[in-house]
Copies of this chain bind each other. A is one copy, B any other.
Amino acid sequence: MKKLTTTPSLEDIKTAAEAIAPFVHRTPMLQSSSINEILGTQLWLKCENFQKVGAFKMRGASCAVAALNEEEKASGIATHSSGNHAQAVALSAKMRGITAHIVMPSNAPEIKRKAVEGYGAHIYPCDPAIESRKARTDEVLAETGATFIHPYNNYNIVAGQATAALEILEEMPDINIIMAPVGGGGLMSGTALVCHYFGKNTMAVGAEPAMVDDAFRSLQSGIIETNDDINTIADGLRTNLGEITLQIIRDHVAKIILVSEESITAAMKMVWERMKIIIEPSGAVPIAAIMTEPEFFRNKSVAVIVSGGNVDLESLPF
């Protein structure tokens, strides 16, 4: 896989799917007749909660690693994250015998730190403020000569995340709508490109917590908007878009629906109770969007990319 320097093409996304196939799971699509009855849609969940590291981030990280040249592989890779991206980078590196350097805020949950350590990555604790994280990462990059893997503002990451929607269209070429939650926009922009290149009028629709509605506002203003209060339960969606993801989302996403915190919890609980699968709050956001605007989705076939299943069982919102 080559290093992408422009918006991934149709061929780039096909190549990404081939490149990462040995390193990721092809996840199942599940549905529930009782949830379909409640929502009035034909809803399919693309279960990235069953993906390696429990999240779609494994796709993008695998794709970024596949684009490294020999020299870069020898120097290792680095990122800063306390979440799913950190685990995905660490595991992707481990699978190919590459060293991973992960800058993590010192207040990151013990369980996440241990998971990253379990994949053999080097952990660099830092002050939780975003400036400190960036500064510490710059130091690590200077010390190690590692290649930085941005969690979303990276064309190879976008191409990797796109493969989830590609699998959906392979199995259900006539689906009406594919939905993704919007955080940094890597999954959303990859999904939108796939609908554009491969769909038969398949609409790409995003969903975002109203509390962190930066992407919704960015679509209106055309610039990268930020959030004042990022205290949403959907912890994977607290970031802003990047230049790369904003551009693709502006060009190819039909709309972004905002949802309340209460609806996220309700959607998550409905899936846990009725489907007996664990989805994280971020993964429930598009389902909350269907509950929020039911008329838009009525009698449509809808695939929701469930971002992941990583939740702290000791602090559930129920």
Closest B residue, CB atoms, query A314: B318
For residue A309, CB closer than 8 A to chain B, the reply is: yes
User: A276 contacts which of B49, B273, B314, B316 (Cβ < 8 Å)?
Assistant: B49
Whether the Cβ atoms of A276 and B50 lie closer than 8 Å is yes
Q: Tell me how far the C-beta of A22 lies from the nearest C-beta in chain B, rounded to whole angstroms.
A: 15
User: A269 contacts which of B49, B313, B316 (Cβ < 8 Å)?
Assistant: B313
Contact-size category for A: 10 to 19
For residue A278, CB closer than 8 A to chain B, the reply is: yes
User: A318 contacts which of B273, B277, B313 (Cβ < 8 Å)?
Assistant: B313
Q: Tell me how far the C-beta of A160 lies from the nearest C-beta in chain B, rounded to whole angstroms.
A: 21
A313 to B313, CA, bound (A): 11
Assembly of this chain: how many copies? 2
Set of chain B residues within 8 Å of A309, measured between Cβ atoms: 276
| Segment 59-104 of A: residues with Cβ below 8 Å from B | none
Q: Tell me how far the C-beta of A31 lies from the nearest C-beta in chain B, rounded to whole angstroms.
A: 12
A275 to B318, CA, bound (A): 20
Name, among A49, A54, A278, the residue most crowded by chain B CB atoms within 10 Å (CB to CB).
A278
Set of chain B residues within 8 Å of A54, measured between Cβ atoms: 276
A49 to B30, CA, bound (A): 14
Whether the Cβ atoms of B313 and A272 lie closer than 8 Å is yes
User: A272 contacts which of B273, B278, B318 (Cβ < 8 Å)?
Assistant: B278
Q: Mark A275-290, 1 if CB is under 8 A from B, else 0.
A: 1111100000000000
Q: Tell me how far the C-beta of A257 lies from the nearest C-beta in chain B, rounded to whole angstroms.
A: 25
Q: Tell me how far the C-beta of A135 lies from the nearest C-beta in chain B, rounded to whole angstroms.
A: 33
Whether the Cβ atoms of A276 and B278 lie closer than 8 Å is yes
Q: Tell me how far the C-beta of A259 lies from the nearest C-beta in chain B, rounded to whole angstroms.
A: 20
Set of chain B residues within 8 Å of A50, measured between Cβ atoms: 275-276
A163 to B177, CA, bound (A): 38
User: A313 contacts which of B273, B277, B279, B314 (Cβ < 8 Å)?
Assistant: B273
A138 to B54, CA, bound (A): 50
> Can you list 17 contacts pairing A with B, beta carbon distance less than 8 Å?
A49-B276, A50-B275, A50-B276, A54-B276, A269-B313, A272-B278, A272-B313, A276-B278, A276-B279, A276-B309, A277-B277, A277-B278, A278-B278, A313-B316, A313-B318, A314-B318, A316-B316
